Amino acid sequence: MNKLPSSSFLPWFAALAVFAGPLGCAVGPDFHRLAAPEVARYTAEPEPSKTASAEMKGGEAQAVVRQMDIPSQWWTLFHSKALNDLIERALKANPDMEAAQAALRNASEIAAAQRGAFFPSVEASFNPTRQGVPAVLTSPLASGSNIYTLHTAQVSVGYTIDVFGGARRQVESLEAQADYQRFQLEAAYLTLTSNVVSAAVGEAALRGQIAAEKRLIEIQEQCLRLLQQQYDAGQVAEVDVLAQEAALAQTRMMLPPLDKQMAQERDMLARLAGQFPSEVIDAQFDFASLDLPQELPLSLPAKLIEQRPDVRAAEELLHSATADVGVAIANRLPNVTLSADLGSAATAITQLFTPGSGLWALAGSITQPIFEGGTLLHRQLAAEAALSGALAQYRGTVLTAFQNVADTLHAIRCDAEALKAAVDAERAAEKSLAITRTQLALGDISYLALLNAEQTYQQAVMAKVQALANRYADTAALFQALGGGWWNRPKSDPEGAAVKS
């Protein structure tokens, strides 16, 4: 039979390569997820169960529901098709999302590539050579020819046994880095959707302010016409007419800055949607087209670290840093390598793999670093320092997460009270202005009283619009602070990152 006499070692080598690595231990600390903080609530005082209300759209009372789950598409609770469509477009076209998805693919492929260290490396080679032997030397060929062609074909197998788990720790570190990028993608998803909602609320607020300014301009123009008539009748002095003209001009001066902010808000919406500012966005937002969610979720504090993408990302960095310590320790320990060559050599290519042409070699080596000038030691110390830093960073991220929720809860409660007060103030100021205009027409009061009433009304209207905008913005901020519900998104969602919880 044309059988290479030494080929029987290959099954034994393969078995050793497959099983030798897992039999070893993995040096370094094992990663364990940290326990949730033992806190019962987010704020020092008990969280409110219901907010104040105001008699207007967007002024409804909001109930805070503990342990209420968050829908993955939480922005649909504002009941705006234009907002839903814009977010869908942004998720598909925003370059930041594309960059985060590419970063995840990159990290996943790097981790997959490192898993190759668990398997033997196998290489095949064919090496034809033309050689000449000096006449004073004996030819290596049986024919005695001094010039010949040698064809060598062989398979080389190499395997580094992961005795101390260095390769496993390296894979563990890279897999944690991939999970970090996965949660970074979730964070980008949450940030993008939250920014679109915030921009829509900002546009609605600006439309409200512009409408209020235009209404005030109309009122002041009516007052100017009234004063002009009284001046023509000799009932008021010219200085009163000029003062009203100045007040009207100052109010008109408020419009261009608002128009500028509106244009910039539209540019921002285009950017978020992955479009150029020159491209028209059909969606337009005002508070009439946005409903205020009347039930607000409040996750248990122990669940927050599971839900926040930034906390989960910091946790994976901690995991990676823990594995890196094991890698640094393993690099200071012996390295065991096996290698084998199996092949055939012949002077004619047609004689390869014929009886008597086989060649083989089997080797093993153990390498122990003895002196590296302190390099390996200090790399281990650096890895341990990085682990301490990652732990501190994780704790800081958790504290920030709890602060975000607490700040938002305070804002939601105070904004509801502020809106109620602003609505009352705006209605009182509007009634006062109407009475003042009537009294001025009858000549019962001075023009100064009208200016004061107009200024009070203007301030009250602007305060109401801003308070309303704060309610919408802080409602969106609460969904963002609690993690955005990514864990409820279907894994088949093409725009979703589908992170495992």
Render pLDDT for 356-415 as a digit per residue (tens, 0 to 9). 888 888 998 998 999 888 999 999 999 999 999 999 999 999 999 999 999 999 999 999
Query: 450 with 435: CB under 8 angstroms?
Result: no
Kindly tell me if the per-residue pLDDT of 486 is higher than 90: yes
Map tokens 């990028």 to a residue: 181
Read off the pLDDT of each residue in 130-150 and give the average, rounded to a whole number. 77
Kindly tell me if the per-residue pLDDT of 171 is higher than 50: yes
Residue 333 DSSP SS3: coil
Read off the pLDDT of each residue in 452-466 and give the average, rounded to a whole number. 86
What pLDDT, on the 0 to 100 scale, is given for residue 73? Answer: 94
Mean pLDDT lowest among 6-10, 141-145, 218-222, 425-429: 6-10
What pLDDT, on the 0 to 100 scale, is given for residue 251? Answer: 87
What pLDDT, on the 0 to 100 scale, is given for residue 243? Answer: 86
What superfamily would CATH give domain 22-118+164-335+377-488? Outer membrane efflux proteins (OEP) (1.20.1600.10)
Sign, CA dihedral 379-383-386-388, equals: negative
What pLDDT, on the 0 to 100 scale, is given for residue 14? Answer: 53
**CA dist., res. 101 & res. 187, Å (int):** 11
Confidence of residue 6 (pLDDT cuts 50, 70, 90): very low
Confidence of residue 273 (pLDDT cuts 50, 70, 90): very high
**CA dist., res. 310 & res. 188, Å (int):** 10
**CA dist., res. 163 & res. 363, Å (int):** 17
Alpha carbon 453 to its chain's center: 49
What pLDDT, on the 0 to 100 scale, is given for residue 296? Answer: 93
**CA dist., res. 232 & res. 251, Å (int):** 24
| For helices 255-272 and 166-232, angle between their N-to-C axes, nearest 10 degrees | 150
316-365 pLDDT tens trace = 999 999 999 999 999 999 989 999 989 888 888 888 888 888 888 899 89
- 129's enclosing H/E stretch is strand 121-132
Mean pLDDT lowest among 181-185, 258-262, 281-285, 491-495: 491-495
Share of the chain above pLDDT 70, in %: 92
**CA dist., res. 455 & res. 248, Å (int):** 11
The predicted model scores a pTM of 0.85
- 150's enclosing H/E stretch is strand 147-161
3-state SS string over 211-253? Answer: HHHHHHHHHHHHHHHHHHHHHHCCCCCHHHHHHHHHHHHHHHC
Which residues, at least 6 apart from 447, have a Cβ–Cβ distance to it below 8 Å?
Answer: 227, 236, 240, 243, 244, 440
Kindly tell me if the per-residue pLDDT of 13 is higher than 80: no
Confidence of residue 4 (pLDDT cuts 50, 70, 90): very low
Sequence-distant contacts of 75-78: CB under 8 A, at least 24 apart: 75/193, 75/196, 75/197, 75/476, 75/479, 77/291, 77/293, 78/197, 78/290, 78/291, 78/292, 78/293, 78/472
Residue 479 DSSP SS3: helix
Kindly tell me if the per-residue pLDDT of 190 is higher than 70: yes
| For helices 309-330 and 166-232, angle between their N-to-C axes, nearest 10 degrees | 150
Kindly tell me if the per-residue pLDDT of 17 is higher than 70: no
Read off the pLDDT of each residue in 92-99 and give the average, rounded to a whole number. 94
Share of the chain above pLDDT 90, in %: 56
What pLDDT, on the 0 to 100 scale, is given for residue 236? Answer: 79
What pLDDT, on the 0 to 100 scale, is given for residue 501? Answer: 42
Q: What's the angle, vertex CA 67, arms to CA 199 and CA 399, rounded to 5?
A: 65
Read off the pLDDT of each residue in 284-291 and give the average, rounded to a whole number. 92
225-257 pLDDT tens trace = 888 888 888 877 888 889 888 988 998 999 999
What pLDDT, on the 0 to 100 scale, is given for residue 376? Answer: 93
The pLDDT mean for the chain works out to: 87
The domain ranges of the chain are 22-118+164-335+377-488
What pLDDT, on the 0 to 100 scale, is given for residue 18? Answer: 52
